[in-house]
Structure 1
Amino acid sequence: MPIDDVVLNFTPASLIVLNAVLALIILGIALEVRPSDFRTVARHPKAVVLGIGAQYLLLPAVTVGLALLLDVPASIALGMILVACCPPGGISNVLTYRAGGNVALSASMTAVSNLVAIVVMPLNVALWASLNPATDALMRDFSLNRAEMLVQVLLIIGVPFAIGMPLARRFPALTAKALPWVQRVGLVALLVFIISGTASNLGPLREHLGTIFLVVLLHDAVALAVGYWTAAAARLGEPDRRAFAFEVGARNTGLGLGLTLTFFAGLGGMAMIAAWWGIWDILAGLLLATWWRRRDARKAARASAIPGTTETPGPTARKEAP
């Protein structure tokens, strides 16, 4: 069966569960956001504005070109565009820290990007999908209501931010204890939902798994590269480049999956791209972060072994403003 004709079956109850899990994940991000993150943006806007542009303009544009180059089916191409228009996930901060990147910049970009997504994401999906004839036709088939998508995104992102930030400010000690559990439970619950939902719909998708795997692998690699080389082109430092790589490369594809199930009737190609992205970008991100960390350690070891030199460590997870 052509993947554009495959529809995944999820019950209304499962959609409620997914939206609750997504809200929990965003709550985990909101509990980490501090007013200082926004003050940092106000004092040093260049890096954050550049990062927002890379996420919501450059990555979707490159994605449209990649989908056309690969000549993928329309539902897969639309899934790629939807993923590219999603805000970054909270895992980006973890990956940035593990890679020795600029955590302060990463946290600021995550906070601002998620708030920007409330308004920008519905418009962005419609805009970039219209540039590919196949995805444009598919969008018309589903008659996407951008106002309804705006409300959906507002509920999933806006409400957790409205709850999480005041809680963190008023109960810092309690928040510090609860935060790791909120993040872990949200991530595990999302992975369980993705794996169980995929397994229950595996039959009609089996013949397309190879294509999905290859497309996500290439798309995720391109997203990481777009982030890193955007920062490099702006002559930002190595820690900032690593933060950019994960802010652009690690998307909140759970949100994309939820929107696919809600507004696109669980269209198989879209749902599988979003679902597999949610797993693969964590694996790929951990591999890249670990490689960077080990490379820094090797450089430091070589520097300390040269007589007359002092140890020169690689980039660290800086806390200063970008």
Structure 2
Amino acid sequence: MSKVEKLGKVIGRWFTLLVILWAAFNYILPKTSLWLVPNISYLLGIILFGMGLTLRIEDFERIAKRPLPVIAGTVAHYVIMPTLAWLLCLIFQLKGATAAGVILVGSCPSGTSSSVMAYLAGGDVALDVSIETLSTLLAPIALPGLLLTFAGKYIDIPTTSLFLSTVKIVLFPIILGVILHTIFGKKIEKITHVLPVVSQVAILMIVGAVIAANHANLFTAATALVIPVVILHNLSGYALGFLFSKLIRLRDPQRKAITFEVGMQDSSLGATLAIKYFVPAAAIPSTIFSIWHNISGSVLASYWRTKSNGEPRVIRTELNEV
């Protein structure tokens, strides 16, 4: 095992704590990461490029051959999370940029760390990655449309610009990564072991930048309700995702995968778009979500792993099994 792989395992083990400590550090010393604010989209591009490098044509063929659980999980994600966000804004009477920020993070594709949580919990990793891939590829259309539907009354939504930016930030890096993996094959696979470290560092840099940009408004009366809203949003997503997968009679590993895929969001994308197109305050829900869902996901994965009395292992059941 190389030093980079060892470093990646250490960072992965303590990633949630690192996110919390790094966020606190940048709240106290915001100038540390303030220079990163204009470069957040590039950092997200690096993360998604890394995701593309790990994908193969076979991953897309798997979706095409056995699409039903993948489509069901993706639809559940894009129905449950935006609707929950909208309802929570009504219940807690959130307004303006804060409400738009909650709905924005709820309209994002599945979170990149969900596959890690599914693996740790003994879930169906193949299904998890397939839903994550499909929801990310659909983001340029789904995200602006959902924002216009649910957040249009709170803030002006530049749907065309959002679409073009999401294509540029999300699709281009992934497609480029897939192309390079297809062309160079095993040569690319030799360097994929460094990708988790690169992605983790990039996520930390994005969190630091968003905290730095919002440090003056992070804990104010106007944003005091964001923390309980984000917690309820995430936990309700887990619960409804699990209930949905149980209603359609999926097996236990698949239920775990869909639970994480529904409840965990690509909050880095939410923070990036909030800063680019709205005001810094709209990025606060995404930032808090980024910290919280790593905590809740780790706890849930640990609970499921303990309950199954086993070490984490890759589950790759057939996607059409129920």
Q: Which of 223, 235, 239 is the matching residue for 2:249?
A: 235
1:173 equivalenced with 2:186 (yes/no): yes
Deviation at 1:316, TM superposition (A): 5.6
Check the 8 A contact 2:84/2:233 in 1, yes or no. Answer: no
Distance 1:285 1:224 in 2: 9
Q: Which of 133, 151, 154 is the matching residue for 1:129?
A: 151
Amino acid at match of 1:251: Q
Match of 2:299 in 1: 287
Aligned Cα root-mean-square deviation (Å)? 2.5
Deviation at 1:185, TM superposition (A): 1.9
Q: Which of 237, 259, 273 is the matching residue for 2:285?
A: 273
1:174-232 CA-to-partner distances (Å, cap 9, x unmatched) read 33332232332222222233235414642333234653322211111112222211111
Deviation at 1:76, TM superposition (A): 2.5
1:222 equivalenced with 2:220 (yes/no): no
1:105 equivalenced with 2:127 (yes/no): yes
Q: Structure 1 residues 254 and 177 mapped into 2: Cα distance closer, same or farther (>3 Å)?
A: same
Deviation at 1:251, TM superposition (A): 0.9
Matches within 5 A, 1:50-129: 50-129=72-151
The secondary structure found in structure 2 opposite 1:251 is coil
Match of 1:139 in 2: 155
Q: How many corresponding residue pairs?
A: 289
Distance 2:270 2:191 in 1: 26
The secondary structure found in structure 1 opposite 2:155 is helix
Long gaps (5+) in structure 1: 1-7, 131-135, 298-312
1:39-76 CA-to-partner distances (Å, cap 9, x unmatched) read 22222221111111111123212221122122233333
Q: Structure 1 residues 112 and 139 mapped into 2: Cα distance closer, same or farther (>3 Å)?
A: same
Distance 1:158 1:240 in 2: 26
Long gaps (5+) in structure 2: 1-29
1:253-300 CA-to-partner distances (Å, cap 9, x unmatched) read 11111111111032x1x2110111112111211111111101110xxx
1:135-155 CA-to-partner distances (Å, cap 9, x unmatched) read x1x323xxx321111111011
Match of 2:3 in 1: none
Distance 1:193 1:43 in 2: 36
Amino acid at match of 1:93: S
Match of 2:27 in 1: none
Q: Structure 1 residues 285 and 63 mapped into 2: Cα distance closer, same or farther (>3 Å)?
A: same
Q: Structure 1 residues 180 and 249 mapped into 2: Cα distance closer, same or farther (>3 Å)?
A: farther
Amino acid at match of 1:261: I
Identity fraction in percent? 28
Check the 8 A contact 2:82/2:106 in 1, yes or no. Answer: yes
Structure 1: which 4+ aligned runs deviate by more than 6 Å? none
Amino acid at match of 1:224: Y
Query: What is the TM-score with the length of structure 1 in the denominator?
Result: 0.82
Q: Structure 1 residues 314 and 190 mapped into 2: Cα distance closer, same or farther (>3 Å)?
A: closer
The secondary structure found in structure 1 opposite 2:41 is helix
Match of 1:194 in 2: 207
Q: Structure 1 residues 122 and 295 mapped into 2: Cα distance closer, same or farther (>3 Å)?
A: same
Match of 2:21 in 1: none
